[in-house]
Homo-oligomer: A and B are copies of this chain.
Amino acid sequence: MHDKPRTLESPDIASIASLIGDRARSKILMGLMTGRALTASELGRAAGVSKPTTSSHLSKLTGAGLVAVEDVGRHRYFRLANHEVGSVIENLVGLAHRLGAVHVDSGPADPAMRKSRVCYDHLAGELGVLVYDSLRQQGCVRGDGRELTLTDGGERFAEKLGVDLVSMRSRRRPLCLACLDWSVRRPHLAGALGAALLDRFFALRWAARQKGTRAVVFSAVGERALRAKFVYRA
């Protein structure tokens, strides 16, 4: 641009954006934002469209290189092709938030759920975001995309908390992932470490699951302990 404001032969931003700019496809992509690989059927259900439609969308997404496929038996597992894709989407979510174009489906209405709940197997909600922010700020994790790296300081911190990193590394599951939080629109920690941390919180009796819901109830002592460990200095 800038160089020649008249010709402005732009690259194919448009085709990529229009790929994301379809309701069903954007839901599919959001579904993949967890970092998990999901099957076509799951994604179709998430997007609320029929199987042919899902298939068509997925082939477009993979064809464009936004999504990667892996065939396992009669299943096809889809995931985001690279973390740049995740970044773009995260940016869009942020922008949507800022523009207030958000449909006010702003996560759970229940205040308990807003505060802390289980997301798959890790901690979400305000406290989850607090933990994430704190870890970042202390330099325990680093990274700009969805995939985070655990720093040396982070290792020490985790071990001091009683997390067994050795056995975690032996598994294939990614150690640290950033998972976008619906209610707060900010990331919290997912991945093996995220799950392990929540386990520790339960083991330490800081918190317990409220049965029947996904809410996680912290005891007064537990929350104080958590906030002491994970200080966030704005």
Distance of A79 from chain B, by nearest CB (Å)? 13
Given known contacts A46-B6, A46-B8, A64-B101, is B1 in contact with A26 (CB within 8 Å)?
A: no
A2-B182, A21-B21 known; A92 vs B88 contact (CB < 8 Å): yes
Give the number of copies in the complex: 2
Knowing A17-B20, A92-B16 touch, does A27 contact B11 (C-beta < 8 A)?
no
Q: Which chain B residues lie closer than 8 Å to A82 at the CB level?
A: 98
Mask of A94-127 contacts with B, CB within 8 angstroms, 1/0: 1111111111010100000000010110001000
A→B interface (CB under 8 Å): 1-3, 5-23, 25-27, 29-31, 33-34, 38, 42, 45-48, 64-66, 82, 84-85, 87-89, 91-103, 105, 107, 117, 119-120, 124, 179-180, 182, 185, 190, 214
**Could you pull out 18 A-B pairs where Cβ atoms are within 8 angstroms?**
A1-B30, A1-B34, A2-B33, A2-B190, A8-B31, A9-B103, A10-B26, A10-B27, A12-B96, A13-B92, A14-B21, A14-B25, A15-B21, A16-B92, A20-B21, A65-B101, A87-B91, A87-B95
